[in-house]
Amino acid sequence: MSALAENAVDIAAGDRLAKRNAVILAVTQGLAGANNTVMLATGSIVGAMLAPDKSFATVPISIYVLGMWMGTLPVGALARRYGRRAAFQVGTVFGMLTGLISYVAIMQASFVLFCAGAFASGLYAAAHQAYRFAAADTASPAFRPKAISWVCWAVSWPPSLGRN
């Protein structure tokens, strides 16, 4: 076997882990993207229902964006110090807190608590924005663009039937 053929076999074997990681990250990106969609689609509706004044209806969306902004650098610092896995796990905890806090806020008709849930949702979004970069970590240079594409594709699934 030539050196070129052996190198191709090694790359294919090495990309097995990269493909597995890309699929897992694509699934988690799809779930995290659903969180964003739900928050953006319903945040102002729920905000209008819970706010003391209707003019505060979009405050939860603004707080979501603030949470994403405030979480970006700490997520990067966590990833640098403890690894991406730890940063993603912390982000996922904030994703779970988003659901729990928002549920309690709606059940108790608490606007302030709903805004806290929106902030946690922003922190979760800050963590999952880096999934596409993690997909590239274990991939060979040849597979790297595909790995990133798989993860980014998960955000747009399912495709709209009306799109051209």
Residue-wise pLDDT for 43-66, tens only, equals 999 999 999 999 999 999 999 999
Q: How far is CA 3 from the centre of its chain?
A: 41
Give the other-Cβ count within 10 Å of 164's Cβ: 3
pLDDT at 164 over 50: no
Q: What is the pLDDT of residues 57-106, one digit of tens each?
A: 999 999 999 999 999 999 999 999 999 999 999 999 999 999 999 999 99
Domain ranges of the chain: 17-41+56-155
pTM of the model: 0.80
Alpha-carbon distance 46 to 5, whole Å?
Answer: 59
Quick one: three-class SS letters along 84-142? HHHHHHHHHHHHHHHHHHHHHHHHCCCHHHHHHHHHHHHHHHHHHCCHHHHHHHCCCCC
Choose between 94 and 147: higher pLDDT: 94
